[in-house]
Structure 1
Amino acid sequence: MLTGGNVESPRQFVGIVACVALAFPMATVAGTNFDVCLANLQNGTFGVGVDVGGTDDHGYPVNVSVATGMTYSLCVQACGVGQEPFQWAIFSQQFSSWLLPWLALVSQLPFGANDKLDNLESVLLTVGSPTLAAYSLFLTVLNSRWVTKRFEKYTYPNVANAIRILSSLQQSPIRVMKEGGLLASLIVLPDNDKWWTELAKLINYTHTWSISAVTSIAWVVIAYIFTILSSFTVGITNAINSNGQGVGSLWLWLLPIVIGWLQISPKCDTVRLSDAIDRANKLAHVATESGEVVLLDETKPKALRAITLTLTKGDDLHRDEKCTPPVFNYARVFPWVQAVEDVSEAFQAASYHYDDQKPVDDSSDWALVKSGQKPDQSNRMGTRDQVIAYCTSLRLAKRYRSRWGPNVISRMFIASALALMLQWGTTGAAFIQVWYTPTRGLGCRSASYLLYAVLSTIVWMLLVISSILTRYASTNQYIHILLEGPAIRHWPTRAARMTSIIFRRLGKLIAAINSLWVVVACIFQFASVFDNCYCNSSVFYLHDHAYNVIALLPGDVTSVKSAWVGGLFLAGGTAIIYVLFVNVLIDPPLPAD
């Protein structure tokens, strides 16, 4: 596991899915036998000639004696509407090879919340919307890079530790308090250097590449490669409609997501994060009006700290912001960026004054130090007002500050593009592999894959829009309380608030349904539930011209192999591109402290 958090719920989810999968086909049941139907058609049981309903592999009418398929109407008449009988040997082999390794890999996703429901939600959101999972992951990478670039030009001490801390707290509902000189004291006072060092060390706890994670990934990769090779070498026409080529491509998105989070090593363990913040804050000092430096624990309530976490779930509008599993990073991007901006502006102002060789106490002279060394401690001491003024700049005061944050929309756009590429690249590959498996066209299998990707995209859209509306409602509510009082709430704010909550709940509901649907659809494919006249005839696509191909010719086998190979390259290439982008942008070099 990535974290030491509570993961019973995700494991229960995987266990339930596996039990459902194994319990679904309780026994072999009698059903349609398409080979017998085709033999009866060729023997003239339903008539002879071209007009009976026999077809070739492309749906053209042929004499029944050489037919390799039949029209949908004849299929229903000759074979019935039932499915082919469930075969345990095929089901167990396909399920264990194509689907079970992916379900096991779900347990390697990062969780970490105290609440089991939050951990279960994170699984359902990830499986139900790979688009959202890929979006949150890549947005985390881009945010870490942005905060590094934002701070690298600052020259005041503790910049590198500030970058580490702020990047690591993307999985947390961070709150920055500037009132009373709390933030300014944290940055300026030399007594707080230990706070920055200690917190950076305390939150650097996650072990990324555990034996469990490496074993799970290796099992999935090896099983996937072996199964692909087997599917091409052990007779492609054997239970072709139950083949898991499409299923393997459909789930391939999970591999770059797990690898990406392992590389990022998200700090999402609620207990450890809270403990780290509390332990570091015991070291925090604050400047007083007299210029004396005192411990905050001796003068201020515990809630009054420069940097804290708001983990208590109160307002329903901000619920997802307080959930630490990293799939919820989509909901934290705006408040996190604003918190970073608060810290950045204070560091920037302090760096301006430091570069101009101005001490905190403007009545004293600047104590010179050698190049590359930290400012002399005497340059960093002063009264509370002087410390606050040192972290304030007229150049920054004139700058307009957006409610959204600098460049956040462009980062969201890039993360969205990569997430959609991963989702539709893997699903599109699965769709192509099934589409070109006779009978060609949109059938039950390809439609189920398409539905999965569409619902995944809808979930992502709903939750991202919800995060935007939450930010709008939060800032508008704050502004109107300042201007008009707490009793008045502007109607656009009320509408945004309500819409945000509805979109978030609807998105989660769809994600839960979609996560169960994708597993059930795969099980249906392996259990021959889709092996009936309606699904095999691609009625969705061909309508009145629907036909069911039962016997494959050598040319069809070659075409199917080509489609399968193309799908493998599309899915694998998409996953590799996503991982490459993550690796190129991750871990930017930190400035020297």
Structure 2
Amino acid sequence: MLLISIEHIVLIFAVIIPTLSIPNVGGLDYSDCAKIANQTYLKAPNNSFLYNQQGELTGDSSQAWGISYQACVDLCTTEANSGSYNWSFLSSGVASWLLPWLALTAQLPFATKDKTTNLMALLLAVGSPSLITYSLALTVFNARWINRTFRQIKEINATLHRPLQLKAIKAARAILIETQHIPIHVYNGRRREIAQLVVHPQNWNWWCSLRDTILLTKGKWTYSLYAQVGFVCVSQLLAITVFFTSASSDSSIGIGLAINSLWLWMIPVVLGWVYVGTQTDSNSIKAALIATNVPVLGPERNVSGEFIGIRDRTTFNDLGTNFQDSSDSHESHSNGRPQQQQDSRSINFTADPGILITEHGTVEERMNSESSQTTHASLSEDIEMRDLAEDFSISNTSTLTSTLKATEQQSQPLLDLEEAPMFRPQTFLGFSIAGDDLEPGSIFNYAHVRSHMNTVKHVAEAFVTFTKRQKAQIPVVSGKEWISNQDYWDENLQGTAEEMSRYISHLGKDVPNIAIHAPASAGLVLNCITAAFVAIFLQWGTTGAAIVIGYKTPVVGLGCQSGSYLINGLASTVSWLVLVLSAYLSHRWSLLQETAQRRGTTSRPSPNILLAGLAVTTRLLGKSLAAANAAFVVVTSVIQFTGLYDNCWCDACIPSLGKKAGWVILFASDAQITAASKRAWVGGVFMGILTALVASAWVFVARGDELFDGDGQE
């Protein structure tokens, strides 16, 4: 969270100052226009240009509310009829209805890598509420998926009576939820790091320590948040209450009510991100991953400055983050190629047909029939599990054997990813193709959701396989006798790094290189679709309320006020959709790149250049549209208090009524206009507030911690 900063001040003044410099910004002088129209009517009473409340031509001046658009142009657009600023109205309107919302933007989640990206995150949030709501909803739905998955792993593990192991599983669940806003990936490598972190009993404390460190830097409910949200809510409620409970007949109050509804999306978004959880700094996860000590990692211990097992892919410069492990740099090579491990045919978890975590987050039993030479015959019987909320199905041994053989025939030797260029961001015309997939920050969750959920799958599958092999009494070392005595249980988990890697693989294969990207599962696609509905609901529930207020205020029709709200909503939605498309294209490009890398088809994979170009172009287009829309929404919120919209074209609602049917109110009093508008104003205010309340309530009940049986830290 940021306090009011230079970026906010620059944004506010950059959009307000140009507005105040527009000539004749005060609009029409309605009193003078009304006098001229009356004089014209008295001179030629048969000249039909008067309109009644219903927007119909009338010859009765006592029923007249206004004049035709053409008459307004002819009679009221002279220099003498130009109005001037009402500074009292401008200052009070902006202070009451807009500044509280601009101040609340300081509580939006940023935690990006630098001030420039913080400013871009601010512009994206203000310019596309759809985008930040979509990222929030995705974070919530994915947290539910993680909670549901690890609840089942916890229940399977509970029967082993291994408390420290169970704590590691619970800690892994919390880590994966709290790191959604950071581009991370699972790393095995030459030392088989993730395998040793999962299997080696002395390393289980690493998960707990990492979780505790991450939670220390998690954003919390602060007094500044309470103060700013409380000030916004109280000030807006008081303004609305005073209007609807007083005898006020100021028709301009509709402007404030509409602007208030337009910005109401900020309440559930700000509160939602604090509740869901964000980090206070973009480097906090990276620092925690590097600083958390690993008790035992093969013959070597954790060296300060290294990533161990889980790595932060954030790029902080044009060269990108160097992911090479210092201990791996000494790996021997032959003829310029990396020396292969014991098993050169490594298999990607997610790409294999024997996947363990289903698309809906349930755990499915798939064990390698060749993982132990001594326990094959009874494996299916030994690993029979009781049914949980979702069934844990067990594949036939012969089917698994044939699947494994087919997979081995199709597999290609992998290049050593430590030496591969895929870890460094590639560019198109100087712009990163991966784009926001490598950017830290909550608003960018829409971009790295696929890679993060792939990371979740790898970690979850490792713990599932690790747990079930213990229940099947299969030790790490193949052929070794299982020790059932709890006092000596840990001896079953001793072995080489490669053996531990095979132990957490459901196919019993050593996997030194784990893919960062994988095709999205149906469950993730469903989460994206549902999150899109949440984004549309909040965006158009609040923007729609503002449109209703502006549209239904006489003259009824789509004018400059309601039209500007419509443009804002459309620009927000389109920029969000374009950015989501860009994220998909970037993901697709990265997936093709990694696939080519794994197959060893080329030393520097170059997937479809058109795909790379589209990914970059759509990202630039989406961000530019969102930034322009952020400036537009602030400008349009300000200028409505300046009188710039008080002109014949805007007041006559020409966009919807046209020049022939358009008319301008001149003779109706504020009390008459207020009486005619009040029902629409009440409906619009109720619609906006109800939308914000429903969205807020949804966030507070949807994260899904209860799916993990309410367990906290242990």
* TM-score, normalization by structure 1: 0.90
The residue identity in structure 1 corresponding to 2:276 is I
* Residue 311 of structure 2: aligned partner: 308
1:275 counterpart (275, 287, 292) = 287
The residue identity in structure 1 corresponding to 2:77 is G
Q: Deviations over 1:5-64 (max 9, x none)?
A: xx48x7223223443576554799875211232233234466332534111122222236
8 A contact 1:30–1:85 mirrored in 2: yes
- Which secondary structure state, in structure 1, belongs to the residue aligned with residue 185 of structure 2? strand
The residue identity in structure 1 corresponding to 2:495 is G
Structure 2 CA distance for aligned equivalents of residues 268 and 144 of structure 1:
19
Q: Deviations over 1:478-510 (max 9, x none)?
A: 2223252135634xx322221111111111111
- Which secondary structure state, in structure 1, belongs to the residue aligned with residue 58 of structure 2? coil
1:284 to 1:169, Cα distance in 2 relative to 1, 3 A: farther
Structure 1 CA distance for aligned equivalents of residues 681 and 648 of structure 2:
23
1:235 to 1:91, Cα distance in 2 relative to 1, 3 A: farther
1:479 maps to 2:595 = yes
1:406 to 1:361, Cα distance in 2 relative to 1, 3 A: farther
Aligned residues: CA RMSD: 2.6
* Residue 394 of structure 1: aligned partner: 507
8 A contact 2:651–2:664 mirrored in 1: yes
1:430 maps to 2:546 = yes
* Residue 70 of structure 1: aligned partner: 67
1:264 counterpart (276, 279, 292) = 276
Greater displacement, 143-152 / 80-89: 80-89
1:162 counterpart (162, 172, 188) = 172
1:12 maps to 2:6 = yes
Greater displacement, 503-512 / 303-312: 303-312
The aligned runs of 1:388-537 (5 Å cut-off) are: 388-394=501-507, 403-405=519-521, 407-481=523-597, 482-487=599-604, 489-490=606-607, 493-537=608-652
The alignment of Structure 1 onto Structure 2 pairs a total of residues equal to: 569
* Residue 323 of structure 1: aligned partner: 439
Shift of residue 237 of structure 1? 4.3
- Which secondary structure state, in structure 1, belongs to the residue aligned with residue 311 of structure 2? strand
Structure 1 CA distance for aligned equivalents of residues 238 and 195 of structure 2:
59
- Which secondary structure state, in structure 2, belongs to the residue aligned with residue 476 of structure 1? helix
Shift of residue 458 of structure 1? 0.7
2:495 counterpart (382, 387, 392) = 382
1:59 maps to 2:55 = yes
1:236 to 1:75, Cα distance in 2 relative to 1, 3 A: farther
* Residue 228 of structure 1: aligned partner: 240
Structure 1 CA distance for aligned equivalents of residues 170 and 271 of structure 2:
26
1:581 counterpart (685, 693, 698) = 698
* Residue 295 of structure 1: aligned partner: 301
Shift of residue 75 of structure 1? 0.7
Greater displacement, 12-21 / 540-549: 12-21
* Residue 32 of structure 1: aligned partner: 28
Q: Deviations over 1:211-266 (max 9, x none)?
A: 00000000000111111123335665425287311100000001110010111121
Shift of residue 78 of structure 1? 1.3
- Which secondary structure state, in structure 1, belongs to the residue aligned with residue 484 of structure 2? coil
The aligned runs of 1:36-55 (5 Å cut-off) are: 36-44=32-40, 47-55=43-51
* Residue 182 of structure 2: aligned partner: 172
Structure 2 CA distance for aligned equivalents of residues 99 and 424 of structure 1:
19
The residue identity in structure 2 corresponding to 1:285 is V
- Which secondary structure state, in structure 1, belongs to the residue aligned with residue 110 of structure 2? coil
1:564 counterpart (673, 676, 681) = 681
Shift of residue 149 of structure 1? 1.1
* Residue 358 of structure 2: aligned partner: none
* Residue 470 of structure 2: aligned partner: 354
- Which secondary structure state, in structure 2, belongs to the residue aligned with residue 411 of structure 1? helix
8 A contact 1:135–1:330 mirrored in 2: yes
8 A contact 2:502–2:508 mirrored in 1: no
* Residue 374 of structure 2: aligned partner: none
- Which secondary structure state, in structure 1, belongs to the residue aligned with residue 540 of structure 2? helix
Structure 2 CA distance for aligned equivalents of residues 255 and 515 of structure 1:
17
Structure 1 CA distance for aligned equivalents of residues 27 and 139 of structure 2:
51
Shift of residue 574 of structure 1? 1.1
1:550 counterpart (655, 659, 666) = 666
Q: Deviations over 1:287-337 (max 9, x none)?
A: 3xxxxx54143xxx9556211112224321223123222001111101101
Structure 1 CA distance for aligned equivalents of residues 496 and 548 of structure 2:
69
Q: Deviations over 1:523-567 (max 9, x none)?
A: 111111001111011011111210012343666533311101101
* Residue 290 of structure 1: aligned partner: none
Q: Deviations over 1:129-164 (max 9, x none)?
A: 000010000100111111111222112531110010
Shift of residue 191 of structure 1? 1.3
- Which secondary structure state, in structure 1, belongs to the residue aligned with residue 297 of structure 2? strand
Q: Deviations over 1:436-458 (max 9, x none)?
A: 11111010111110000000001
Q: Deviations over 1:352-387 (max 9, x none)?
A: 1122233323414323339xxxx9322322222321
Structure 1 CA distance for aligned equivalents of residues 664 and 309 of structure 2:
69
Structure 2 CA distance for aligned equivalents of residues 189 and 284 of structure 1:
10
- Which secondary structure state, in structure 1, belongs to the residue aligned with residue 581 of structure 2? helix
Structure 2 CA distance for aligned equivalents of residues 47 and 184 of structure 1:
94
1:138 to 1:542, Cα distance in 2 relative to 1, 3 A: same
Structure 2 CA distance for aligned equivalents of residues 464 and 213 of structure 1:
30
2:257 counterpart (240, 245, 270) = 245
1:218 maps to 2:230 = yes
Which structure 2 segments of 5+ residues have no match? 158-164, 321-424, 426-431, 511-516
1:304 to 1:557, Cα distance in 2 relative to 1, 3 A: closer
Structure 2 CA distance for aligned equivalents of residues 176 and 413 of structure 1:
26
Shift of residue 577 of structure 1? 1.5
8 A contact 1:83–1:532 mirrored in 2: no
Structure 1 CA distance for aligned equivalents of residues 202 and 649 of structure 2:
75
1:195 maps to 2:201 = no
The residue identity in structure 2 corresponding to 1:570 is M
Structure 2 CA distance for aligned equivalents of residues 245 and 479 of structure 1:
54
The residue identity in structure 2 corresponding to 1:77 is D
Structure 1 CA distance for aligned equivalents of residues 541 and 476 of structure 2:
56
* Residue 368 of structure 2: aligned partner: none
8 A contact 2:541–2:687 mirrored in 1: yes
8 A contact 1:268–1:326 mirrored in 2: no
8 A contact 2:104–2:229 mirrored in 1: yes
